[in-house]
Structure 1
């Protein structure tokens, strides 16, 4: 979890610097990032549901 928070913090700092310097970010468009988030959610949905079923069944 710590790695995710550090990654997010560094990304925010770099984004702020890009804005201050008035440079366009080389990151993909927001819609592509939303698609990637959906892919991650779908990939992790079945293991999460199995975990919940096992937890509540016991």
Structure 2
């Protein structure tokens, strides 16, 4: 969780500096971020379809491999203690 909070803090700090010097953020519009999410989710359609075709267990794959790819490494209790 600490890296996420540090990233948020850094983003807030940069946003404040941009505001003070009157510069617009180069961040992409929301529609671009939604498109990126679509790409991440779309990449998972073929592996899920292959598992459906072979009768493999899908729920574990979605919870582990898909979630790890789409969400990135999520914070653990070890991360909190570091």
| TM-score, L = length of structure 1 | 0.54
Aligned to 1:9: 9
Q: Which structure 1 residue ranges, 5 or more long, are not aligned?
A: 49-58
**Shift, 1:16, TM fit:** 1.2
Greater share of residues in helix: 1
Q: CA RMSD in A?
A: 2.3
Written as runs of structure 1 = structure 2, the 5 A alignment for 1:30-45 is 30-36=30-36
Could you say which structure has the larger radius of gyration? 2
**Shift, 1:30, TM fit:** 2.5
Q: Which structure 2 residue ranges, 5 or more long, are not aligned?
A: 45-61, 65-82
Number of aligned positions between the proteins: 45
CA distance in 2, matches of 1:8, 1:38: 23
